[in-house]
Structure 1
Amino acid sequence: MKINSIAPALLLGITALIIGHFFSLKIVEDSKAVARIKLESTEPLLMVNRIMNINEWNPISKTAQKTAMDEHDRIIAQANEWQEKIDRHSIIVMWLAFVLMSITALLYLKSNYFNAAMAMALAFAALLFLRIGVDAPAMEIQVYSEDLNISIKLSGKAIYEDLQNDRYLKHIPFLEFFKHKEIGFDHKFHGKIYYQYQSKSILESIVLLFKANNQVVALALLLFSVIFPLLKVIFNIWILLWPRTGQWEGFSSIVYYLGKWSMADVFVVSMFLAYLSFHNMGQQGVTVDSQVSIGFYFFLAYVIVSITSGILTQNWIRQYYKSKQMQ
């Protein structure tokens, strides 16, 4: 059966978007839960908690250190269980997009609307990926030291010079004995000591930037990672439904200028990669470990799918105008 309408592709796309929205909510909620759990896992190993715990300084018993590390591992195990759920739901979303494109391709295989239908399917998949990409955590940053060694040294000479007057020497006659002595010890805190942990989505980062009065960066991130990508997909669907609107001067100008920013999505992803690689450098025994999270991968999927959808839409429009001129 030869289909000569874009309506079935639109219906399939809307259906897939509705189904995918349920799983996208689960992915976002669970990924934020993982971020909260991981933040909780750093609590026993925070620098202030470990250093201010007198039991951690016990040179004989390591019970306090072992307790802190065991608590951290227990909470991380919970986070891993949640992560498995996120992975399952992510696979379902990817399969849903694949099934949408496969069914659309089979329905329109012999139709003149093949390019339009595939562009429509990809556009709805892009919307789904974008929704997860901007709302789920995109990056995770941990700042910590491992097996931190703290040296405590007391210089007898420095103490003697600070206290050197008749009044102090009279009450501490043996102070001169320590004048050339150094007293101290080294203590190692086994495992990790955390200074900071953050896991943020693109939307959360934008909100934080606005709150920090960094409006320029926040606005740029909002435009290039949320507003422009969303408008591009919406206009893409609009043109597929009403191809004649491509001839409207105002509308075509909007599409043209959005098209000029088509690589802005890739630019945002590149900036994330540069940011993450920069923060993977440790200094003076402090490790800054940055990792991409599920939101980054879905945003990257959006970039690839939306560009492909745009190319198919352009091919369809050229085909549509050519057929109209021949009539």
Structure 2
Amino acid sequence: MADSVDLSLLATTATDYARDNKDHIFSKIYSGGLAGRPGTPIKPITDYMMPVVGNDEVVLTELYIDSVLQPGAKDSFNPKNNAVKLKPRKAKVKPCKVDLLMKETTIMAMYKSYFGQIRGGKIDRTTYPFEAEVIKKVFDRLMTDLRNIALINGVRNEAGTAAVDTMDGLFFKLATEKASGGITAGQIATINAITAANGVTEIEKIIDMVPSDYFYEDLVCITPLKYKQAYERHYREQYGTSPYNAGFDKMQIEGTMIEFVVEPGMAITGATKFESPVITTRENLAWLYDDEGDQTRLEFDYDKRTRSLAYMVDFQVGMDWAISELFWMGDVAEPEE
């Protein structure tokens, strides 16, 4: 096998490979790409967010049914008006893209690495061609950008060129909803800054905000890793270092059925600092994507003059939620003057 690659041919074969394997390649985006890490509290996005397909605006609707029970009476029909209510919330997917220009030297370096893995028996070129390797390298980074930056910390900026500009993420949307009164004071506990000395105490203040109607529902606690660690260390300090208390696989808040979900992109410092974990019902949050062919493409183009390969990806994604009333969180008390 010659240790070389024809870039002009690669532009064609890689585009053909992407077209033939489009559903498989883009399924990483449709699922948020975000498969999580087995055995850890970093879960697949679709484990706690509802995947919703749409090519523009999507209505996220929750059915609410008020109290319906009443005393019985013969020969009468006494319906309760407006007992069944719909609470619609509109969300939109946003166009995103990847535009890369890879020089010949970069492609050759990738090919040599790929060729070395074939020689070493790590991969089989008959089932994993070089075209797949080129696509995979970029999509691995794209998945990180989507989950750790855009989904959590993004603020949509049409003129921007960074991952943070692609969509309105969880921090921005929660802050906007709190400012507008969509998330009320009754959903927000006043807490102290969470540390290893008070993690259990402060997180339990948030749990106390959850109404009894929802306490034993399927809830998740979406949190930065540091707050989960603070909870575990304070728990060990309070209750001892038995194997159970010290175990890595402590996935639920003690005394509840609320599962920890660690989001690596949630910051505890800086402009997008989360002052607490966020508790909500499973699948209240939604991951939106467009799976129609017109808006989803992956193409390569070779420029002879610059000996470079252009790599272009287009797709549409977004995030939102159905019911603002189903969030509970904490705000750190302002120090007294």
TM-based fold match above 0.5: no
Structure with the largest fraction of strand: 2
Q: Give TM-score, length-normalised by structure 2.
A: 0.22
